[in-house]
Amino acid sequence: MTKVLIADDDKNLLTSLTIRLKAEGFDVLSAQDAYMAVAQCKKEHPDVLVLDINMPAGDGFSVQSRVDRMNHDRALPVIYLTGERSERVVQLAKARNAYAIVFKPFETSELVLKIKAAAATKR
């Protein structure tokens, strides 16, 4: 079973995504800030990260950097969620080899497909 960590400071979004992803057969972890996201990664070793870019205690980019340092032998696929549609965000995500960027608002089915594809690249 693919283990997915979703990190977003929007509690309602976390709840709805957790329900939907569990229904799709994923093992879902969640965090409402960057600190908790890194702690969950250290403890639970997810297969795919879905990271909000702007959240408390650090942004999604800093989470990816910290997780990459912890897992230097295996890079995790990262999908960024963001409401910020700027060239800066796109360039930062590309520079970090993000699997995908999903702009809010989004269709949950689109995110599910991206998570499944990202998980398949890891195998």
pLDDT per residue as tens digits for the range 40-56:
999 999 999 999 998 88
Of 33-42, 72-81, 109-118, the one with minimum mean pLDDT is 72-81
Amino acid code (one letter) for 15: T
For the chain, the structural domain boundaries read: 3-90
Helix (H, G, I), strand (E, B) or coil at 100: strand
CA angle 103, 108, 1 (to 5 degrees): 115
Tokens linked to 2? 């693919």
CATH class of 3-90: alpha beta
Mean pLDDT, to the nearest integer, of 27-40?
95
Residue 68 makes CB contacts below 8 A (sequence gap 6+) with 75, 76
Residue 39 makes CB contacts below 8 A (sequence gap 6+) with 31
Q: How confident is the model at residue 72 (pLDDT cuts 50, 70, 90)?
A: low
